[in-house]
């Protein structure tokens, strides 16, 4: 009796394989092709696209009275990252608690909420 492989792939399995192939080709193949044609400007386009995506997420998630929350959050992150020894402290952190302390205990200017 021949014990061959059973055909057990369903529609969801095929969809996952196909969408994984499309997404991975978009993430790994296309940037290489684009950087060969465009050059260093591709890096700036990725930064701009990620900034726009972050802003869109904050606007969609936030309520009408908290629409500018994303600007305050981005300003706080920028203040933390611009500290003189931030990169050294970040790389020398031994565990997640130290990373959390670097971010949460950082000295930064607080923005007052209007209203």
pLDDT value, residue 39: 85
With b meaning 16 or more CB within 10 Å and e meaning fewer, what string describes 78-100? eebeeeeeeeeeeeeeeeeeeee
Q: Which residues contact 67 (CB under 8 A, 6 or more apart)?
A: 59
pLDDT value, residue 67: 65
pLDDT value, residue 45: 84
What's the pTM? 0.40
Could you tell me how far CA 53 lies from the centroid of its own chain?
A: 9
pLDDT value, residue 50: 86
Low-confidence ranges of the chain (pLDDT < 50): none
DSSP letters of 59-79?
HHHS-GGGTTHHHHHHHHHHH
Residue 55 per-residue DSSP state: H
pLDDT value, residue 80: 84
């Amino acid at each position: 009796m021949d014990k061959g492989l059973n055909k057990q792939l369903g529609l969801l399995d095929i969809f996952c394989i196909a969408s994984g192939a499309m997404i991975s080709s978009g993430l790994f193949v296309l940037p290489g092709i684009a950087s060969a044609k465009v050059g260093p400007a591709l890096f700036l386009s990725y930064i701009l696209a990620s900034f726009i995506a972050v802003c869109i997420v904050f606007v969609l998630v936030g309520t009408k009275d908290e629409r500018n929350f994303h600007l305050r959050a981005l300003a706080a992150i920028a203040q933390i990252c611009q500290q003189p020894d931030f990169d050294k402290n970040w790389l020398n952190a031994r565990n997640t608690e130290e990373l959390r302390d670097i971010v949460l205990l950082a000295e930064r200017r607080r923005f007052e909420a209007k209203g």
